[in-house]
Structure 1
Amino acid sequence: MKFRKKPVVIGAVQWTGDNLFDVITFTDGAPSIRGTHASEKWDDYCRLVDADGLKIFTLEGKMNASVGDWIIKGVSGELYPCKPDIFALTYESAE
């Protein structure tokens, strides 16, 4: 049997390596970085991502996202990274 993927609209942001705040806002909501303590924690998190890479928590577990990968939020709110070539073959702008 053959199946065709239903047309659905997803949300996505591309990880550039310089847009951690945007990626975190997309995946978890805007982080609070106001105040000394929150700002220090944000700086610690940025250093951790620089050292260990960006981790995306998916239904299958923790996955690494490389610079250039798209972070997709699926129809049920699930998150997963997608390589740019696969993203280009699978998705087009809905705007």
Structure 2
Amino acid sequence: MAKFRKRPVVIDAIQWTGQNYSEIREFCGVHPQGHGHCWYSVDDKNYIGTLEGGMEASKGDYIIKGVNGEFYPCKPDIFKKTYEAVEE
């Protein structure tokens, strides 16, 4: 078995607070495959349009913009283990 280290990549992300719906829609913009907005709600659940289809995003999840412009949700505990703030 070989070991690998994640390359240092700077990403853009925003945390879903349960109240910043319009801010997240603005962050995500239009789905890259032309299916409307990347952030949408169905039956009181919130979803982010990913390359693999809609993934549910829970309050507290981070919405990450990947290196290829794709979006996906990330649980807060995983986010904190994987990412650190970058000073601009």
TM range (shorter): 0.7 to 0.9
Q: Give the structure 1 partner of residue 22 of structure 2.
A: 21
Number of the residue aligned with 2:50: 58
Unaligned regions of 5+ residues in structure 1, if any?
30-47
Instruction: Quote the residue 2:37 is aligned against.
Output: none
Largest Rg, 1 or 2: 1
Superposed displacement of residue 52, structure 1: 2.5
Deviation at 1:13, TM superposition (A): 0.3
The structure 1 residue matched to 2:63, chosen from 67, 71, 76, is: 71
Residue number in structure 2 paired with 1:89: 81
Could you say what secondary structure the match of 2:3 adopts? coil
Structure 1 runs of 4+ with >2 Å offset: 48-52
Higher relative contact order (CA 8 A, sep 6+): 1
Distance 2:43 2:18 in 1: 12
Where is the helix percentage greater, Structure 1 or Structure 2?
1
Query: How does the TM-score come out when normalised to structure 2?
Result: 0.81
Instruction: Give me the identity figure in percent.
Output: 58
Instruction: Tell me how far apart the structure 2 counterparts of residues 51 and 58 of structure 1 sit (CA, whole Å).
Output: 19
Opposite residue 74 of structure 2, the aligned amino acid is: C
Letter paired with 2:8: P
Q: Deviations over 1:15-63 (max 9, x none)?
A: 001000110010007xxxxxxxxxxxxxxxxxx8384311101111100
Question: Is the counterpart of residue 10 in structure 1 residue 11 in structure 2?
Answer: yes
Normalising by structure 1, we get a TM-score of 0.75
